[in-house]
Chain A
Amino acid sequence: MFSLLQIEWLKIKRYRTFWVLTGIFIVFILGWNWLMSAGVLTPGGNAAKMLGMNFTFPDVWFHVGHNTKLFSGLMSILVIILTTNEYQFRTNRQNVIDGWQRTQFFHAQWSIVFVLSLLITLYTLILGLFFGLLNGSPLSAAGTNIQMVGYVFLLCMNYFGLALTLSFLLKRSGMTIVIFLCYGYIAETMITNILRFKFDTRMGDLLPMESAANLLAFHLPDMAKQMMGLQPTSASTLCIASVCWTVVYYIISRIKVLKSDW
């Protein structure tokens, strides 16, 4: 895998779009967290603030995790662009002609997804520690709710895995981005709400992207949840669902890449 990553790095390091999108992602998340921690941005309005939104441990993990989720679509688009470029330039074919097995090409793309997810998780961890300490909470309290950082990894693997699978299936960047965004940010929300409010079921929480997104839902204190009558699906169920969907993406994309003409 390391040699695959080395070659992928050769492809990526000269690609300006990679650096621009990565730069935007890093700066936006940092800025967004900063503005929220400073009280300039108040998603949920003053009510949320009154109910105890703050950037100290352990609540900071909910906020930085949620904020990473907000911008993960940007990095999903990057995954789509990197993968569909291979089809557009037909370099996927050339890589195989030059001696890669199809599985090596396939795993090279998944290794990008894995490493990107790992780096974003690490970045979220650093942001959480930074803002937690900045706002005066002791490091000893940092361990509580730190599983939210792990959820960031699951979310990234899920989102990027879906983006990668759609890229393998559709091969064109424009179409793949539109379908990814329409599905993830419109279709799933509609389906979830229809299931919840028309059929009184929370099965929508287990949809591909929803399963991961609900792990990093906007944080409301337990008291607020009780007041609003919310009974969210348990984190363990969501984790299992999200991992299962990622495995499904892997299997579908593997079959597509290994069995079809290029």
Chain B
Amino acid sequence: MSSALVIENISKSYGPIKALQGVSFSVPEGSVFGILGPNGSGKTTLLATVLDILVADAGSYSWLGGLPPHDARKKIGALLETPNFYHYMSAMDNLAITAAIRQAGSADRERVLKTVGLYERKDSKFQTYSLGMKQRLAIGAALLGNPRILVLDEPTNGLDPNGIAEIRQLVRDLSKQGITIIIASHLLDEVEKVCTHVAILKKGNRLVSGPVNEVLINEDLVEVAAGDMSALQRTLQQMPGVKTVTAADQILQLTVDAVTTQAINDHCFRNGITLSHLTVKKKSLETKFMELTNEPSKN
């Protein structure tokens, strides 16, 4: 699969603060690529750098197999941080400028305004829009001219639950059309629901990147309980395949490696313990994310 974006060793500092430290990864064409990280991890700095808003101290990037950056950006729809429009102009007039710069033709404006649900307010001035409407307009502008890549930085900021669901569906629909979508977010739920690939940043370092189902493996947790919890804990700690045993509120939480619940039940029964509680619980993405981002940085 060819790459929509290749990032190689990008570093960026703001005085003594190292916002990005040799970050490298590539975004496969046609993927929905999530850039995850806590606040201040460098997500927006990275996107601003590859969109030529910030100047990198070191490293390089290439879009769509090495197109000149400004030509590539004409094929990229991007929403970076905040919706940026001329406050005194209407949605239609603002989109006319976007279309002119992208050489997209202004006939597409009504279509994108309908897509993001702003058609009824197309002639209202931008300054009269709510935060959610501004965000929708920014997404609409990004869709002008059928871009090959969409870059969305915190796209659901300011949207109500319906708006969030609509954007999520829009991302899925666009992805089906083969558009590469890069989403920066600290909302794990957002990434988990729509992304095929992910890169996780922390303090300017790339911790990990790759397909979501490889990077964010949702290890299962097994919860057990019995009359004698001490005996149960001793027994399970000796069971082959049980990696960890953690006591929590009258239950034990186990992480296991290729061990079924039936095998756990049998093992306990053979050791004279009858289980009163046995259930499998999915480990939350949040837990996994916290584990990853709480590990010491690689650099």
State the A residues within 8 Å of B (CB): 3, 6-7, 10-11, 14-16, 85, 89-91, 93-102, 104, 259-262
A90 nearest in chain B by CB position: B84
Closest 7 CB pairs of A and B: A99-B74, A94-B84, A90-B84, A98-B101, A101-B70, A99-B73, A261-B54
Q: Is the CB of A11 within 8 A of B86?
A: yes
Per-residue contact bits, chain B 77-106, to A (CB 8 Å; 1 contact, 0 not): 010101011111100010011101111000
Contact of B88 among A14, A99, A262 (CB under 8 A): A14
- In the assembled complex, how far is the CB of residue B124 from the closest CB belonging to chain A, in whole angstroms? 13
- B interface bracket (residues with beta carbon within 8 Å of A): 20 to 34
Q: Is the CB of A90 within 8 A of B101?
A: no
B96 nearest in chain A by CB position: A10
How many interface contacts (CB-CB < 8 Å) are there between A and B? Answer: 76
Q: How many angstroms from the CA of A90 to the CA of B80 in the assembled complex?
A: 10
Q: How many angstroms from the CA of A247 to the CA of B74 in the assembled complex?
A: 31
Asked if B51 is an interface residue, CB under 8 A from chain A, the answer is yes
**Contact (A98, B73) CB under 8 Å given A7-B101, A14-B88, A14-B89:** yes
State the B residues within 8 Å of A (CB): 48, 51-55, 70-71, 73-74, 76, 78, 80, 82, 84-89, 93, 96-98, 100-103, 141
- Between A and B, 21 residue pairs with Cβ closer than 8 Å are A6-B100, A10-B93, A10-B97, A10-B100, A11-B97, A14-B88, A89-B86, A89-B87, A91-B85, A95-B101, A96-B51, A96-B70, A97-B73, A98-B98, A98-B101, A98-B141, A99-B70, A99-B74, A99-B103, A104-B70, A262-B54
Contact of A7 among B48, B52, B97 (CB under 8 A): B97
A103 nearest in chain B by CB position: B70
Q: Is the CB of A100 within 8 A of B93?
A: no
Q: Is the CB of B88 within 8 A of A15?
A: yes
- In the assembled complex, how far is the CB of residue B81 from the closest CB belonging to chain A, in whole angstroms? 8
Contact of A91 among B52, B73, B78, B84 (CB under 8 A): B84
Q: Is the CB of B80 within 8 A of A93?
A: yes
A98 nearest in chain B by CB position: B101
- In the assembled complex, how far is the CB of residue A128 from the closest CB belonging to chain B, in whole angstroms? 35
Complex interface: chain B residues within 8 A of A10 (CB): 93, 96-97, 100
Q: A91-B84, A96-B52, A100-B101 are in contact. List 20 more A-B contacts (CB 8 A).
A: A6-B100, A7-B101, A11-B86, A14-B86, A89-B86, A91-B86, A93-B48, A96-B70, A97-B78, A97-B80, A98-B73, A98-B74, A98-B98, A98-B102, A98-B141, A99-B73, A100-B70, A259-B55, A261-B53, A262-B54
Contact of A96 among B71, B73, B103 (CB under 8 A): B73
Complex interface: chain B residues within 8 A of A101 (CB): 70
Q: Is the CB of A261 within 8 A of B73?
A: no
Complex interface: chain B residues within 8 A of A93 (CB): 48, 53, 80, 84
